[in-house]
Amino acid sequence: MRPKASDRLVVALDVDTVNAALALAELLREEAGYFKIGMQLFCRQGARAIEALTGAGFNIFADLKLHDIPNTVYAASAALAEQAVSIFNVHALGGSAMMAAAVEGAHRGAGCKSKVLAVTILTSLARRQLEAELGMSGSVEETVERLATLAKRSGLDGVVASAKEAGRLRRLLGPDFIILTPGIRPDWAAAGDQKRISTPGDAIKDGADYLVVGRPITQAANPREAARKVVAEIEVALEQIEES
């Protein structure tokens, strides 16, 4: 069963302290289904940030983009699963053996239920950077599809991908493969440093399951009201899908 509108919202806790993260999550407890702990908070506060948030009953997406040799990723994945994160991610560019090791690590313990997603291409990158800086030929869309297909074959639960690729990925990989989409910017918010962005409604209609939203909510004058506006856009899109 697909999650309801508010459960699809993942709020990015891009803050420096555990107390700030807890305060923000408590403020938005009724408005969002998940909260993202990324590298900013994790590198400052470590695993205790995850422990504090999961201990307070929040569903956590650990956005740490694991990318190392398979044995190291296996151990890190097991640690994240044992800390009861709901979702964590790895880089698809680590290859099939590394991704399979992440799944194995996440399932090591009997009570471990973390979903493992693969990052395909960062939403801050465009084709020019892929070709000129990284030496990767082909369009962004083709590269994302190739990496997402590899992730599914490696046993992962889904991918992190731009809404611009969500529709094609949904058709390619089926209805049960999770698509978590960053780079979400409502019409009333600034784009910032994101390149491949989409509105909440468009992302849902394009096939995304979960939407990561940070600054448009967390830096708003009224974060709770901003979150409610995003959820309302998601709800409208879901109704339009049902009617079509």
Token duo for residue 106 = 């996440």
**CA 54 – CA 40 distance, rounded (Å):** 18
DSSP labels, 125-169: --HHHHHHTT---S-HHHHHHHHHHHHHHTT-SEEE--HHHHHHH
User: Looking at 65, 115, 164, 205, which residue is catalytic?
Assistant: 65
Could you tell me if 200 and 184 are in contact, meaning their C-beta atoms sit under 8 angstroms apart? Answer: yes
Least Cα distance to 101 among 116, 85, 83 occurs for 116
* Residue 158 · residue 172 · CB < 8 Å: no
Integer angstrom CA distances of residue 227 from 4, 24, 62, 145: 15, 12, 20, 30
Q: Does the annotation count 65 as an active-site position?
A: yes
Other beta carbons within 10 angstroms of residue 243's beta carbon come to 6
Catalytic sites, residue numbers: 65
